[in-house]
Structure 1
Amino acid sequence: MVLLPTSAPANFSTTVMYGDQNQTNTLTCPHAELKSWHYTVLPPYYLVISVLGIILNVFVLGVFCFHKKACSVAEILLGNMAAADLILMAFIPFWAVYTAERYNWPFPHPLCAVVTLSITMNAYCSIYFLVLISIDRYVALVHPLSHDGIRRPRYAKVGCLLVWCFGLLLSVPALVYRKVTYDSRVNSSVCRIDYPNNTVYCLFSGMLIIFTFVIPISIISFCTFRIIQALNNRLAVGSNTRKTEHKATTLVLAVLLAFMICWVPFHLSRIVEMFLHAGMITNCTLITITNACGHISMNLAFFNSVLNPVLYIIVGKNFHQKVRDLFTRRSTSSRTSSTTWQMSRSVKTEQVSS
C-alpha cells in the first residue's frame, strides 16, 4: 500500500501483471480517456488545502505552545497530530506541481523519495496519534481511578516520540522503492513505486494494511465504543462527569469521526488495489473503478489535515478558552506596554520642562 499513486494515470492501455516471476500472466485493459480537469482542477485543489492546512495547523500549534498553562495529555497528542498534518500539507505543493505537469516529475530525482517519505510518514503518524488519543480518552472515562497514573504528560511525550519513529519505519518502503523512471508510453519521467516483483509488492502492501489500517482501526473502534458506552452509563445513573473530560471527549469523538470519513475509503481502496496486483481481480470495469476510487479517496484523505484544526476551533471548548486566554493576555500586555511608554514619556517631558 502506498499513499500516493503508484504511477501516473494516462490515456493508454494498462497491463496488469500478476503471478510469480516464472509464470507471469497479463491482463490488458483500456483506460478511459482522462479529461483535462484532472490536470486543471487537482493542482489548485492541492494548493488550496495546502495553504489552508498550513495556516490552520500553525494557528493550533501556536495556541498550544504559547499558552501560559502546561498542555494536558490530550493537548500534547492533538498538538503532535497538528504537527504531522502541518508537515504533510507543507509537501503537498510538490504533488500539485507534479500533477500540473501531467505527471512528469520536474524536480531533482531524490526529491521523489523525500517528498513521498514525508507525506506517508506523517500520514501514518497521524493515524497512530489518533490511536493514542483514543486510548487516553478510554482510560480517562472507562478506568479513571485504576489507571489514572499512566495519564501523565511525560508518558504522552514518550508515546509521541515512539509514534514518530514507528511512522518513519513504516515509510521505509516509500524511501527505498519510490523512484523516478522514464515511461515511454507517456513520454515522461514518472515518480512511482518500483517494486522488484509482485511478491514484494503484496508483502509490503499486506504489512502496511495491517499496521496502518487493521490494527489502528480495531483499537480506535474498541476505545470509541467503550467511551460512548461509559458516557451513556454515566448519564443513565446521573453521574456528573468532569466538565474538562467531557469537553475533551467531545472533541476527540469529532476528530475520530472525521478520520473515519476521510481515511477509511482510502484504505479500503488500497486493499482492493492489492487484490488487483495479486491477480484476484481480472475484470476491466472493476480495475477502472479501483483506479478512480484510489485517486478520489487519496484526495479525501488529504482533506482530513485541514478538517482536524477546523474541528479544534469549532468543537474544542477547552481550545476556545486557550485562545481567549492567549489573546486576552496579549491585549493586556499591549495595554500595559502602552501605559508604561506614555508614563515614561510624561516623566521625560516634565524633566525637560523643569
Structure 2
Amino acid sequence: MDSLTANGEKFTITISGGDLDNYYDEYNNYTDTSDTCCSTGEVCSLEEGMSFDAVFLPVFYSLTLVLGLLGNGLVLLVLVQRRRGWSVTDTFILHLCVADILLVLTLPFWAAQATGEWSFGTPLCKITGAIFTINFYCGIFLLACISLDRYLSVVHAVQMYSRRKPWMVQASCLSVWLLSILLSIPDWHFLESVRDTRRDKQECVHNYPSLSQSGFDWRLASRLLYHMVGFLLPSAVLLFCYSCILLRLQRGSQGLQKQRAVRVILALVLVFFLCWTPYNITLMVDTLYSNSTLVDTCESRKALDISLTATSSLGYLHCSLNPVLYAFVGVKFRHHLLDMLRSLGCKLKSGVRLQTASRRSSMWSESGDTSHTSAIY
C-alpha cells in the first residue's frame, strides 16, 4: 500500500513488491505532466531542442561576447576621452554600454549550461538571470528617456534637461536602474538551480510554485509584468515620440543638426525593436501555451523551444550592435575613434578620409539638444 499526492489530490495505490520500480516511474511521469507531455497526452522527446542548443548557443554566445566587449569598450573609451563635451544623450548611452557589458559577461555561464549543465549554484543563477532582465528593462527605459528628451526638444522646443541642473540626467539614469532592479524581483525570487528530470541535468530555470500550492499564478503574473511594463508601454512611448518627431522634421522646420541627432537615435530604436520584438512575441505564444489557451502538441512545443532559444539569442546580440550603429551613423564617433587610434600610434592609410571626417564633424558640432555639445555625434 502506498500513496501519492499530485496536483493537490491524494491517491492510495496498492503495489506489489515486484512492481515498485515501475510505480515510481509512473509517478514521476504523472507529476511532471505539464512539462513532459503536451495537452494531447503525447510524450515529447527533447533531444532535438537540446542538440540545437548545444551546437548553436556556444558559438553564438562566444561571438556576441567578443563583439560586445570590444564594441562597447571602444564606446566607453571615446566617451571617457570626450567627457567634457558630453550631451544628455551621451550620458544615457554611457549607461546603455554599462548594462550591455554586464549582460555579455554572463554569456559564458549560459554557454556552459547549453553544452553540459548548470554547475554554478543557485546564487549565481539568480544573478545572471536577473542581469538579463535588468539589461532589457534598462535598454528600453533609457531609449524612452532619450525619445522624450528629443520629442520635447524638436517638437516643442523645450529642454527637458538643463545644463544648469546636470544632476537631473544622473537622477533619471539612477531611477531607470532602480526601477529595472525592482522589476527583476521575480527572477531574484524564483530562479533556482534545479534538476530537470526531462533533460536529466542541472539547469538554471524559474521554479514557480503551482497554482494549487500558492493560490496565485506567479508565472502568468511575471509574464504579464514583463510584457506590459517592459515592452508594450515603453514601445508605445517610443512610437509616439518618434512619429511626432519625424512628422515635424518632414515639414523642414528643423536644421541638419537635429536631423542627424534624430537619425542616430532612431537607428538605435529600430535595432532594439528588431532584436527584442521576436523574443517578446515568442514569449507571448509560450504564455498562451502554458495557460492552455492554445492546443499544445509535440511539434509546436519543439518549434517553440527552438524559437525561444533563437529569439532570446537575438536579444543578446543587441548588446553588440549599438557600437556598430555609432560607428556607421554617428559622424563624430568615427572621428573621435580615429583620433584615439592615431594617438595610440596607429598609422592611418588615408589622410584624405581623416580630413573629410574632421570637416563633417566640425559642421556637426552639436546634437539635437542645441544647448549641449555632443561627444559622439
TM-score (norm 1): 0.79
Q: Tell me the distance in 2 between the aligned counterparts of 1:68 and 1:149.
A: 20
Q: Deviations over 1:35-66 (max 9, x none)?
A: 74431232121011011101110110111112
Q: Tell me the distance in 2 between the aligned counterparts of 1:317 and 1:203.
A: 44
Alignment-mate amino acid for residue 202 of structure 1: L
Match of 2:182 among 169, 182, 185: 169
Aligned to 1:201: 219
Query: More displaced, 304-313 or 154-163?
Result: 154-163
Q: Tell me the distance in 2 between the aligned counterparts of 1:68 and 1:122.
A: 24
Q: 1:191 to 1:28 in 2, by over 3 A?
A: farther
Aligned to 1:73: 88
Q: Tell me the distance in 2 between the aligned counterparts of 1:29 and 1:313.
A: 50
Aligned to 2:324: 310
- Unpaired runs of 5+ residues, structure 1, are 1-11, 18-24, 332-354
Q: Please report the RMSD computed on the Cα atoms of aligned residues, expressed in angstroms.
A: 2.4
Q: Tell me the distance in 1 between the aligned counterparts of 2:238 and 2:254.
A: 25
Q: 1:75 to 1:187 in 2, by over 3 A?
A: same
Superposed counterparts of 1:92-111, under 5 Å: 92-101=107-116, 104-111=117-124
Aligned residues: 304
Alignment-mate amino acid for residue 120 of structure 1: T
Superposed counterparts of 1:331-350, under 5 Å: none
Q: 1:287 to 1:184 in 2, by over 3 A?
A: closer
Residue pair 2:133, 2:184 contacting (<8 A) in 1 also? yes
Query: More displaced, 67-76 or 280-289?
Result: 280-289
Superposed counterparts of 1:131-146, under 5 Å: 131-144=144-157
Aligned to 2:25: none
2:199 match: secondary structure: coil
Aligned to 1:150: 161
Aligned to 1:233: 251
Residue pair 2:48, 2:302 contacting (<8 A) in 1 also? no
Match of 1:116 among 129, 137, 144: 129
Match of 1:219 among 237, 243, 258: 237
Q: 1:99 to 1:130 in 2, by over 3 A?
A: same
Q: Tell me the distance in 1 between the aligned counterparts of 2:283 and 2:183.
A: 15
Does the alignment pair 1:210 with 2:228? yes
Q: Tell me the distance in 1 between the aligned counterparts of 2:59 and 2:341.
A: 33
TM-score (norm 2): 0.75
TM-aligned CA deviation for residue 330 of structure 1 = 6.4
2:251 match: secondary structure: helix
Superposed counterparts of 1:20-39, under 5 Å: 27-28=41-42, 30-31=44-45, 33-34=47-48, 36-39=51-54
2:85 match: secondary structure: coil
Q: Deviations over 1:48-103 (max 9, x none)?
A: 101110111011011111215331011111111111111111111111111111xx
Aligned to 1:278: 291
TM-aligned CA deviation for residue 207 of structure 1 = 1.5
Does the alignment pair 1:160 with 2:178? no
Aligned to 1:43: 58
Work out the percentage of aligned pairs sharing the same amino acid.
27
Q: Tell me the distance in 2 between the aligned counterparts of 1:154 and 1:324.
A: 31
Residue pair 2:100, 2:319 contacting (<8 A) in 1 also? yes
Match of 2:313 among 299, 320, 333: 299
TM-aligned CA deviation for residue 27 of structure 1 = 5.0
1:41 match: secondary structure: helix
Q: Deviations over 1:196-229 (max 9, x none)?
A: 1251111111112111111111111111211111
Residue pair 1:269, 1:297 contacting (<8 A) in 2 also? yes
- Unpaired runs of 5+ residues, structure 2, are 1-28, 212-216, 346-377
Residue pair 2:40, 2:296 contacting (<8 A) in 1 also? no
Q: Deviations over 1:231-260 (max 9, x none)?
A: 1112xxxx45152x2222111111111111
